[in-house]
């Protein structure tokens, strides 16, 4: 376990854990160090978790952090028993399992290329990437808090803050127009404050100009159409101006003639007025007559439409009735043909009956002869079919066996391929880990220690195999002796039981034999129970050792202290709540 602890501690130091040189195994880890190491491992495996490496002072926050760490390890695939107690009240064995799992999940660095590019462009890209990563690693601050650098130069007092605005579209549908007129707010009312007005308009114009709604050809066509529309508008305006000039000249001439004829028109002004009244009355009468005629025509048209509907419905009914009559006519014609045929046959009844009987007899004879011929052909075919079926069944059984063997071989091949892939991954991981190791380390010492561990494991395996072989031999001897004893007892029992009927000494010997057999069986049972009890004692001792390794007493003391602290914190919180309530 010391070698495993050294590997775990070395890996944790490589990812940035501050572990003292005096700590050589996991028993020297306190709760703060356990939490820090676990958080750093999880951040390396899954960046962006945002967990704190410092253990909180509040007990509730500690429990939440422990539960979060346990949940994250479970999501990564840890199958063991894990909870907040694993990190807050840890045991050495549980920590070893958790850290071994996390170290196996750590990402492996890809092999770096030997011939790196040293051009100016590559160096510039590297410098830019390093500058960006450095800038991203710095916490964000407002621009007025930056004292150095060029970030604060030329900063405006008002920040550029825009919101998404919605503007009515000219060529919109009826639904959109209804929405624009009833529900859409004006553009100034869509702003959060007045400082967002100008940036929002600039952003909206940039979006509308940036959308590729028309290509170059469409834009040229649009400009040409606009030019044509402007030319048409210009020509229309020119025509309107000419008409206006003509109208003004005509008005001038008309005014002149009217001024000359004014005196003449005064004498004859009464007659035109009477004529206009008569014409208006005549027009009103004509209009009234036309209205009546239109109303009469409308009534006639409605009546005609109703009659047309009635006729259409009658036509549909007539077509349905005609179809039904056609069907009945067809059925009756078929029945008529059958009846006519039957009547023809009934006219020559005896002769037709004789003909039918002769035809039936000929057909039966033909069927019998065909059946005999079929039977002659069927028997050899059935025999051949049975033989072929037996051959096929034997072949099918052989092919099924071969298929089963092929499936087993494929499964073995798949398992071997999976094992080879896992071993290749382990090999690549080991190569990457070897390349990560510092070069100044004496590898011979590591290899010597590994060989020693392998030799120890081999010796232990040999000893275990020897013990198992001895156990098997002893069990075989016990079984043979037990069988021999049972056989001897049965033989002696039979011999003595024969003489016990006539000889008194044989009866006593038979009783002694029975008591001896029962006592021996009791002794054997006691020996077996003693062995089982010894095994249970060993198991209990191992459990006691494992429980003692978990530091139950120290963990109980820490739990008691944490419980007292939680009670104090809850009492302080209740006091604060009471003070606020009062």
- pLDDT tens track for 549-558: 666 667 777 7
**Which whole number is the average pLDDT over 123-150?**
69
Predicted pLDDT at 250: 53
Predicted pLDDT at 359: 84
Contact 48, 40 (CB under 8 A): no
The answer on pLDDT for 91 being more than 60 is yes
**Which whole number is the average pLDDT over 42-64?**
83
Number of domains in the chain: 1
d(CA 36, CA 13): 11
Lowest mean pLDDT among 150-164, 176-190, 278-292, 479-493: 150-164
Q: CB under 8 Å to 222, separation ≥6 — which residues?
A: 214
Bigger pLDDT: 407 vs 582: 407
d(CA 527, CA 36): 54
The answer on pLDDT for 244 being more than 50 is no
Q: Which domain range does residue 52 map to?
A: 1-105
Backbone angles phi, psi at 415, to 5 degrees: -65, -40
**Which whole number is the average pLDDT over 477-496?**
84
Structure tokens at 456: 């120890």
179 in any annotated domain: no
Residue 186: which pLDDT band, with cuts at 50, 70 and 90?
confident
Contact 79, 53 (CB under 8 A): no
57 in any annotated domain: yes
93 in any annotated domain: yes
**Which whole number is the average pLDDT over 332-342?**
84
416 in any annotated domain: no
d(CA 269, CA 276): 11
Burial (CB count within 10 angstroms: exposed 0-12, middle 13-18, buried 19+), residue 70: buried
380 in any annotated domain: no
Predicted pLDDT at 221: 58
d(CA 341, CA 359): 19
Lowest mean pLDDT among 132-141, 180-189, 388-397, 514-523: 132-141
348 in any annotated domain: no
The answer on pLDDT for 149 being more than 70 is no
Contact 582, 574 (CB under 8 A): no
pLDDT tens figures, 281-324: 887 888 888 888 888 888 888 888 888 888 888 888 988 999 89
d(CA 574, CA 81): 35
**Which whole number is the average pLDDT over 345-369?**
81
76 in any annotated domain: yes
d(CA 498, CA 513): 14
Contact 37, 29 (CB under 8 A): yes
**Which whole number is the average pLDDT over 144-172?**
63
The answer on pLDDT for 161 being more than 80 is no
The answer on pLDDT for 241 being more than 50 is no
36 in any annotated domain: yes
d(CA 357, CA 292): 90
Predicted pLDDT at 142: 67
Structure tokens at 543: 């459990």
Lowest mean pLDDT among 111-120, 326-335, 434-443: 111-120
């Amino acid at each position: 376990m010391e070698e495993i602890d050294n590997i775990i501690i070395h890996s944790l130091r490589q990812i940035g854990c501050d572990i003292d040189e005096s700590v050589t195994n996991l028993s020297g880890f306190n709760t703060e160090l356990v939490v820090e190491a676990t958080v750093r491992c999880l951040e390396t495996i899954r960046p962006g978790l945002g967990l704190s490496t410092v253990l909180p002072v509040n007990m509730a926050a500690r429990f939440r952090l422990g539960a979060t760490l346990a949940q994250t390890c479970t999501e990564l695939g840890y199958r063991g028993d894990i909870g907040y107690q694993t990190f807050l009240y840890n045991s050495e064995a549980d920590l070893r399992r958790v850290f071994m799992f996390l170290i196996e999940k750590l990402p492996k660095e890809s092999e770096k290329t030997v011939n790196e590019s040293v051009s100016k462009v590559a160096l510039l890209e590297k410098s830019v990437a390093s500058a960006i990563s450095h800038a991203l690693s710095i916490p964000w601050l407002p621009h007025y808090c930056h004292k150095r650098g060029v970030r604060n130069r030329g900063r405006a007092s008002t920040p550029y803050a825009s919101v998404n605005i919605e503007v009515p579209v000219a060529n919109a549908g009826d639904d959109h127009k209804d929405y624009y007129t009833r529900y859409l707010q004006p553009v100034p009312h869509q702003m959060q404050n007045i400082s967002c007005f100008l940036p929002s308009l600039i952003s909206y114009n940039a979006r509308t100009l940036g959308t590729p709604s028309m290509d170059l050809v469409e834009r040229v066509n649009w400009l040409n159409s606009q030019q044509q529309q402007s030319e048409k508008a210009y020509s229309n305006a020119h025509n309107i101006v000419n008409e206006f000039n003509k109208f003004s000249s005509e008005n001038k001439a008309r005014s002149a003639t009217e001024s000359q004829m004014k005196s003449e028109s005064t004498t004859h002004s009464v007659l035109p007025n009477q004529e206009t009244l008569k014409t208006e009355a005549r027009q009103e009468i004509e209009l009234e007559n036309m209205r009546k005629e239109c109303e009469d025509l409308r009534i006639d048209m409605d009546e005609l439409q109703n009659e047309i509907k009635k006729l259409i419905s009658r036509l549909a009914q007539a077509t349905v009735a005609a179809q039904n009559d056609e069907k009945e006519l067809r059925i009756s014609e078929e029945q008529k043909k059958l009846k006519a045929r039957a009547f023809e046959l009934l006219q020559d009844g005896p002769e037709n009956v004789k003909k039918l009987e002769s035809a039936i007899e000929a057909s039966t004879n033909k069927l019998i002869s065909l059946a005999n011929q079929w039977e002659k052909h069927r028997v050899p075919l059935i025999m051949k079919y049975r033989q072929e079926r037996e051959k096929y069944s034997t072949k099918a059984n052989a092919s099924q066996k071969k298929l089963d063997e092929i499936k087993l071989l494929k499964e073995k091949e798949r398992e071997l391929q999976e094992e080879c892939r896992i071993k290749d991954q382990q090999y690549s991981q080991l190569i990457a880990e070897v390349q990560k190791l510092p070069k100044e380390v004496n590898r011979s010492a590591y290899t010597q220690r590994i060989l020693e561990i392998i030799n120890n494991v081999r010796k232990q395996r040999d000893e275990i195999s020897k013990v198992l072989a001895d156990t098997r031999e002893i069990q075989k001897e016990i079984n043979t002796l037990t069988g021999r004893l049972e056989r001897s007892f049965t033989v002696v029992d039979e011999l003595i039981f024969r003489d016990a009927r006539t000889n008194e000494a044989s009866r006593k010997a038979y009783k002694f034999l029975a008591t001896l057999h029962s006592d021996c069986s009791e002794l054997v049972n006691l020996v077996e129970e003693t062995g089982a009890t010894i095994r249970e004692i060993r198991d209990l001792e191992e459990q006691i050792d494992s429980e003692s390794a978990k530091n139950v007493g120290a963990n109980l003391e820490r739990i008691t202290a944490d419980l007292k602290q939680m009670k104090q914190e809850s009492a302080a919180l209740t006091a604060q709540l009471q003070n606020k309530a009062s």
